[in-house]
């Protein structure tokens, strides 16, 4: 699984950080998403999928098979 984030779409909601804190963080100043782990390990996949689904700005994209 490969994760990409679109900083321009991100609204700083931080839902992704609540769900997958090992993969996502937020910038201190404007809250925009920081991708900590572009190719997260297997154990993170379920959380990352949920974060991508719940992100209110559709700013998280997942590619690759599993």
Per-residue binding string, other proteins, 7-26, x by CB under 8 A, is ----xxxxx-xx-------x
* In the complex, minimum distance from the CB of residue 42 to ligand SF4, in angstroms, rounded to a whole number: 21
Q: Is the CB of 5 or the CB of 15 nearer to other proteins?
A: 15
* Residue 30 binding target from ligand SF4, other proteins, none, CB below 5 to 8 Å by type: other proteins
- 3-state SS string for the chain: CEEEECCCCCCCCCHHHHHCCCCEEECCCCCCEEECCCCCCHHHHHHHHHHHHHCCCCCEEEECCC
């Amino acid at each position: 699984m490969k994760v990409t984030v679109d900083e321009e779409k991100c609204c700083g909601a931080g839902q992704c950080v609540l769900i997958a804190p090992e993969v996502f963080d937020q910038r201190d100043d404007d809250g925009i998403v920081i991708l900590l782990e572009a190719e997260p390990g297997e154990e993170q996949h379920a959380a990352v999928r949920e974060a991508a689904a719940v992100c209110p700005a559709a700013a998280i994209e997942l590619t690759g098979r599993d």
